[in-house]
C-alpha cells in the first residue's frame, strides 16, 4: 500500500527517516515525500517496501553525501548552491535526528561552528540552502534535560539565525496523553518536537513564540480509558504464535509472584520494588550503600516483618519443573514492582494474569492493561497477561501490535521480510505517527485544508486515521 497523493498539498523531505513514521504521518495528510535519507540498511529495506513509489535516487543513504564532497572529510563541505542543486524544493523538512554532544569550543565563531561535526550541523546546511517554510524535528525528551541545556539552546539559536520562529520551551508529546480521535495510542512515549516556521530575517523578538502544543494538551482525556485489547491480534491471526509465548522458566517466575499477590493478606501491596532477597528481619545495609538502596532495603524488611508468616511460607514453596524456590530465581526475578493498584485496589480477584508485565533488568514490573510502557528492545517487550481480552496464555506483544502502538500500518514488516528482532528494534526507535500528525497540524494546518476522514475507525485504517479538523491548539 502506498498513500502518496497525486495532487499533493505540500512536499517534504524525510531526514534520518528510520522506517518512515514521518512519511506515514505526512503523506496521510496529503503530503508528498520528495527525498528521504536513512543510513541503516534494515530500515532502508522497510522504507523502500512501504513506499515503493519513491524513486531509488531519492532515498539517500548518508546525509553527508549531500553536505560534503567527501563524507569522511569535515573540511570538504559543499556550498549552499551545491546543496541546493542536490536537494529537491520542499515545504517541510522533518526528521528524528540523532542527538550528539556539541562542542563547547569549536572555532568560537558562533552557533554555526559550535555544531560542526554533528549531524545537526548537516541538517542546518540543508536548511540554509533550501529555507523550507516549516521544520519538524523529533528527539528523546532527555534533549531538554539539565545535562543538555546548552545543546537545546544551541539548536534553537541555530534555527533563529536562519530566520525561523521557534519556542524556547520544548513541545513534549506522548501518544497515551492524546485521545484516540486526535491520533493517540496506548503507549507512554515522551518525545520532544521542535516546530519551526520560516519568517525571514526580522527583529529577533519576532522569532520567539510560545509552545504550539502542551504535553497535557487534552486535559479532559483520561489515559486510563485506553484499553490495550483494542490494539491486539487474536491468537488465530498470529503466525507462529509459539514464538511469542513465554518459556517454562519465565512462567515459573510469574506463577510464584502471582501466588504472592493473590494470597498475601493485605489490600495494599506496596508500590516500591519488592525484593525477595531483602525479606529479612533486620536489613543488611553496607556503609557505602546509596540512599535509594538503603531506603528499599529498610522498607522491604518492614514489609516482611508485617507479613512474616505468609512470606516465610511462600519463600519455602517450590515452583516449576525444577522445583525452584524464589531465592533460586535470578536476582532480577526476585524483584517485583506492583503498579496495578488502579486495576486491583483490594485483594478481591487480585492477580497478575490480567495485567501487562515487563521482565526488566531491574525486576518484574506489572501494571493495568490500559496503556503500555515505551517500546524498547525485544528483551523488554511488554508481556500480555494470560487473562487479557481473548488471550489463551501469556505472550509477548507481536510486531504488528507494536506497529499499531506507533500507528504504523500492519503490513510494513511482513512485506519487507525483516525478522522480529529487527522489527522490535526499529519500532523502539520510530517516531509515533499520531504525535507527528498532531504536531504538524499545530505548525502548518494552513497547508492541509479539509481531510476526508474514514467513515469508521477500525484497526485497518487506524494508523492513518487523523480526525484532527477541530483540534484546539494551545496558545
Query: Going from the N-terminus, what domains does the chain have, and what CATH number goes with each?
Result: 10-223+428-464 (3.40.50.150), 234-397 (no CATH)
- 4 has a pLDDT exceeding 80: no
Q: pLDDT class for 115, splitting at 50, 70, 90?
A: low
151 against 312, higher pLDDT? 312
- pLDDT reported for residue 369: 97
Looking at the predicted structure, is the pLDDT value of residue 472 above 50?
no
Mean pLDDT of the region 173-202 = 94
List residues with catalytic annotation.
99
Q: Given this model, what pLDDT does residue 14 score?
A: 97
Report the alpha-carbon distance of residue 414 to residue 425 in Å, rounded: 15
- The percentage of residues in the chain with a pLDDT greater than 70, rounded to a whole number, is 88
What's the confidence (pLDDT) of residue 116?
A: 55
pLDDT value for 377: 58
User: Is the pLDDT reported for residue 468 higher than 50?
Assistant: no
For residue 404, name the pLDDT band (cuts at 50, 70, 90). very high
Mean pLDDT of 300-327: 97
- Distance from chain centroid for Cα 367: 18
Report yes or no: 190 and 216 within 8 Å, Cβ to Cβ.
no
**How many residues belong to the chain?**
475
Asked if residue 160 has pLDDT above 50, the reply is yes
Partners of 137 in beta bridges: 95, 194
Residues 6+ apart with CB under 8 A from 234: 390
Whether residue 190 is predicted with pLDDT greater than 50 in this model: the reply is yes
Q: How does strand 31-37 pair with strand 59-60?
A: parallel
Q: How confident is the model at residue 5 (pLDDT cuts 50, 70, 90)?
A: low
Tell me how far apart the alpha carbons of residues 265 and 303 are, in angstroms, rounded to a whole number.
Answer: 12
Q: Is the pLDDT of residue 433 over 70?
A: yes
CA 462 centroid distance within chain: 18
Mean pLDDT score across all residues of the chain: 89
Residue 146: the pLDDT is 83
pLDDT for the residue 147: 81
Query: Who has greater pLDDT, 453 or 179?
Result: 179
Q: What is the mean pLDDT of residues 282-287?
A: 92
Checking if the pLDDT of 103 tops 70, the result is no
Residues 424-441 have a mean pLDDT of 95
Beta-bridge partner residues of 192: 139, 172
Give the mean pLDDT of 347-363.
96
Amino acid at each position: 500500500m502506498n498513500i502518496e497523493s497525486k495532487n499533493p498539498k505540500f512536499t517534504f523531505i524525510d531526514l534520518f527517516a528510520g522506517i518512515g513514521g514521518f512519511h506515514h504521518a505526512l503523506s496521510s495528510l496529503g503530503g508528498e515525500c520528495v527525498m528521504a535519507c536513512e543510513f541503516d540498511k534494515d530500515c532502508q529495506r522497510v522504507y523502500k517496501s512501504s513506499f515503493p513509489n519513491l524513486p531509488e535516487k531519492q532515498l539517500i543513504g548518508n546525509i553527508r553525501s549531500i553536505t560534503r564532497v567527501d563524507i569522511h572529510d569535515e573540511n570538504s563541505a559543499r556550498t549552499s548552491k551545491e546543496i541546493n542543486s542536490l536537494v529537491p524544493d520542499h515545504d517541510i523538512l522533518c526528521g528524528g535526528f540523532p542527538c550528539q554532544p556539541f562542542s563547547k569550543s569549536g572555532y568560537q565563531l558562533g552557533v554555526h561552528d559550535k555544531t560542526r561535526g554533528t549531524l545537526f550541523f548537516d541538517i542546518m546546511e540543508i536548511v540554509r540552502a533550501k529555507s523550507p517554510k516549516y521544520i519538524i524535528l523529533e528527539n528523546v525528551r532527555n534533549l531538554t534535560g539539565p545535562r543538555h541545556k546548552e545543546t537545546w539552546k544551541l539548536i534553537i539559536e541555530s534555527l533563529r539565525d536562519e530566520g525561523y520562529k521557534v519556542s524556547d520551551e520544548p513541545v513534549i508529546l506522548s501518544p497515551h496523553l492524546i485521545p484516540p480521535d486526535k491520533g493517540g495510542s496506548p503507549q507512554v512515549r515522551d518525545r520532544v518536537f521542535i516546530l519551526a516556521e520560516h519568517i525571514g530575517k526580522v527583529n529577533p523578538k519576532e522569532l520567539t513564540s510560545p509552545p504550539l502544543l502542551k504535553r497535557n494538551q487534552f486535559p479532559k482525556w483520561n489515559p486510563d480509558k485506553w484499553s490495550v485489547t483494542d490494539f491486539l491480534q487474536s491468537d488465530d491471526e498470529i503466525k507462529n504464535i509459539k514464538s511469542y509465548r513465554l518459556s517454562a522458566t519465565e512462567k515459573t517466575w510469574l506463577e510464584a509472584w502471582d501466588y504472592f499477590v493473590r494470597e498475601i493478606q493485605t489490600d495494599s501491596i506496596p508500590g516500591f520494588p519488592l525484593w525477595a532477597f531483602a525479606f529479612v528481619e533486620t536489613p543488611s545495609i553496607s556503609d557505602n550503600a546509596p540512599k535509594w538502596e538503603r531506603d528499599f532495603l529498610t522498607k522491604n524488611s518492614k514489609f516482611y516483618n508485617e507479613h512474616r508468616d505468609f512470606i516465610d511460607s511462600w519463600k519455602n514453596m517450590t515452583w516449576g519443573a525444577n522445583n525452584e524456590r524464589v531465592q533460586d530465581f535470578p536476582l532480577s526475578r526476585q524483584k517485583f514492582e506492583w503498579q496495578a493498584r488502579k486495576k486491583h485496589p483490594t485483594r478481591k480477584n487480585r492477580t497478575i494474569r490480567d495485567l501487562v508485565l515487563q521482565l526488566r533488568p531491574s525486576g518484574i514490573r506489572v501494571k493495568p492493561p490500559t496503556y503500555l510502557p515505551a517500546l524498547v528492545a525485544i528483551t523488554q517487550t511488554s508481556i500480555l497477561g494470560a487473562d487479557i481480552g481473548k488471550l489463551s496464555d501469556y505472550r509477548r506483544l507481536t510486531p504488528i501490535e507494536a506497529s499499531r502502538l506507533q500507528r504504523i500500518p500492519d503490513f510494513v514488516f511482513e512485506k519487507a521480510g525483516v525478522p522480529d528482532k529487527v522489527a522490535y528494534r526499529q519500532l523502539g526507535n520510530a517516531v509515533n505517527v499520531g504525535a507527528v500528525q498532531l504536531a504538524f497540524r499545530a505548525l502548518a494546518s494552513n497547508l492541509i485544508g479539509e481531510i476526508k476522514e474514514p467513515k469508521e475507525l477500525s484497526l485497518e485504517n487506524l494508523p492513518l486515521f487523523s480526525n484532527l479538523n477541530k483540534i484546539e491548539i494551545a496558545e
